Amino acid sequence: MRHHNANRKFGRVSKVRNGLLKSLALSLVMNEKIKTTEAKAREIRPIVEKMVTKGKGATLAGRRALTAQLGPTGAQKLVNVISPKYAKRSGGYTRITKLPARLSDGSLMAIVEFV
């Protein structure tokens, strides 16, 4: 039975998977738009949404948590540049746009960007 087992594994062990999601989140924050597979896009979306919500409060604890997740430059950009754009918005900060399948292996592709 698969109770409480909703996250995608991506064929990786947990340390490698967490590193992958962390680097995808950092790339999205730094570039504000990334192209990835649809499964990775769906997995990264709630992580980044929670980060933006933490950045909106901009408390010391929130900044330290973001620095632990994104590093100092990523956290600084999230708190100072990205989060103030969504001060009046209560969620739904990212958009996933589907693209045609990748030619090499046929995996479904998507663009993740901030709204």
Domain membership of residue 104 (yes or no) is yes
pLDDT digits (tens, 9 = 90+) for 42-93: 999 999 999 999 999 889 999 999 999 999 999 999 999 999 999 999 999 9
CATH of the domain at 100: 3.90.1030.10
- pTM of the shown model: 0.90
Q: Which residues contact 80 (CB under 8 A, 6 or more apart)?
A: none
For the residues of 10-63, what is the DSSP string, one character each?
TTS-HHHHHHHHHHHHHHHHHHSEEEEEHHHHHHHHHHHHHHHHHHHH--HHHH
In Å, what is the CA distance from 36 to each residue of 45, 60, 93? 12, 32, 18
pLDDT digits (tens, 9 = 90+) for 24-55: 999 999 999 999 999 999 999 999 999 999 99
Domain membership of residue 28 (yes or no) is no
Number of structural domains in the chain = 1
The pLDDT confidence band at residue 4, using thresholds 50, 70 and 90, is: confident
